[in-house]
Structure 1
């Protein structure tokens, strides 16, 4: 990700529908897996960025963060992480079995050797530990926007499941979400076919919305959250999985 984007993300994490809705969906999914009630778990946010994920992760315990960007970690320092570490690649500076939960939210798509990164998450988890993952979904939504964001791939549900199982995880729960972003991504993809704008000049952040539209999109995400309690959504621009270390 471009360095200047971290400031934009940090400003939006508290109100933009995608961030707020994603946190609510993932918090509820973790509650289904971990159970309700205050936890004191050791949690690692792998690729923590400017730190907004702590807004829901801290409900479950003490959160540490790791990222390759010093700029991102500067923003994260104000968030209340127990510890922050800078790394130079996907490898982690922690002993085996150090954490109860690892979150990797929109990170694996940025790593060429994603399965090696998944193995690192497995390594630092305790036996029975939980991995929470989100990734961009559906290969057919690939566009110049993904290139500008330095993505190596978008994932199908099958691909992500196979990779997680292949390194030693058991899938606990999954669902697509952010269904409203699918038409936006399709418009981006169609625009790529007629636009001569180089991918490096494509805006790397989200579409701007009025407060009213942002509130409407958040309400739709909350409806998705309700539906996901009963069955996984078969499509959406994002995909989450909860996996358990065997």
Structure 2
């Protein structure tokens, strides 16, 4: 969860939002298929939010070092999240420079999970990452972003997004900073109609913009959360199966794994 959403939550939900749970499954599957994490390697998560994803991955790969960075961290947040961790192979930092200090020869995997859309100068941001000496030609960079600028709405405004991307735009962006696509695609096609309806309500019927997000408002119980999460996982599996035969199905989010050219 974005730290902005954490700040706006007034209650503790019984279970995580199904989108968060399902996205974790998608990220895990993409890593296992395209960017295998090695024992003794290092994974860097930039813009880690409330560390839900990176802590889950650290638990899955106990023999790998995980570094989590978020510029919204302060000393008290780092202490709070660190104390709550159930793993000892994950360290939290408020800056990239601090995270990469010390004896780190190379980064095996960089995670940019719904981060790039928050950066005003996305090209300069990715160029800094691409030019880092510890990110080598074998380093995989996994990017997820919200899809399609035409679906930009109050949800994006609340989360301080600058833009949304389709795969072509994301490909053009990474190519400009010296990165080359390994694989890309979309996920969560079943959420597209819901977002289209929301955009129509806001633009055509002038519905009042909401100063919140679905993750902030979520108060579903464990059963409902698990059910919806499983439906979204099935959604991803369907999209992935069609992609395997050359049919690209659009979704509300997209991903790209890339490397240095």
TM-score band, normalised by shorter chain: 0.7 to 0.9
Say if 1:9 and 1:118 are closer, same or farther in 2 by CA, change over 3 A: farther
Unaligned runs of 5+ in 1: none
What does residue 231 of structure 2 align with?
A: 220
Structure 1 range deviating more: 107-116 or 2-11? 2-11
Unaligned runs of 5+ in 2: none
Q: Distance in 2 between matches of 1:130 and 1:28?
A: 14
* Greater gyration radius: 2
Is the strand fraction higher in 1 or 2? 1
Q: Distance in 2 between matches of 1:240 and 1:108?
A: 11
Q: How many residues align?
A: 240
What does residue 186 of structure 2 align with?
A: 176
- What is the RMSD of the two structures over their aligned residues, measured on CA atoms? 3.0
TM-score (norm 2): 0.79
TM-score (norm 1): 0.83
Say if 1:82 and 1:210 are closer, same or farther in 2 by CA, change over 3 A: closer
What does residue 57 of structure 1 align with?
A: 57
Q: Distance in 1 between matches of 2:6 and 2:126?
A: 25
What does residue 86 of structure 1 align with?
A: 94
What does residue 130 of structure 1 align with?
A: 140
What does residue 39 of structure 2 align with?
A: 39
String of CA shifts for 1:171-215, please: whole Å, max 9, x gaps: 112221122221221222122233464x5x521343647545534
Say if 1:75 and 1:11 are closer, same or farther in 2 by CA, change over 3 A: farther
Bigger RCO of structures 1 and 2 (CA < 8 A, at least 6 apart)? 2
Aligned counterparts, 1:1-246, within 5 A: 3=4, 5-6=6-7, 8=9, 15-35=16-36, 39-58=39-58, 59-60=60-61, 61-70=64-73, 73=78, 76-77=81-82, 78-79=84-85, 80=87, 82-87=90-95, 92-93=97-98, 94=100, 98-122=106-130, 123=132, 124-193=134-203, 194-195=205-206, 197=208, 199=209, 202-206=211-215, 208=218, 210-211=220-221, 213-232=224-243, 233-246=248-261
String of CA shifts for 1:151-171, please: whole Å, max 9, x gaps: 000001101011112212221
Say if 1:100 and 1:11 are closer, same or farther in 2 by CA, change over 3 A: farther
Say if 1:39 and 1:97 are closer, same or farther in 2 by CA, change over 3 A: closer
Question: SS of 2:136's equivalent?
Answer: strand
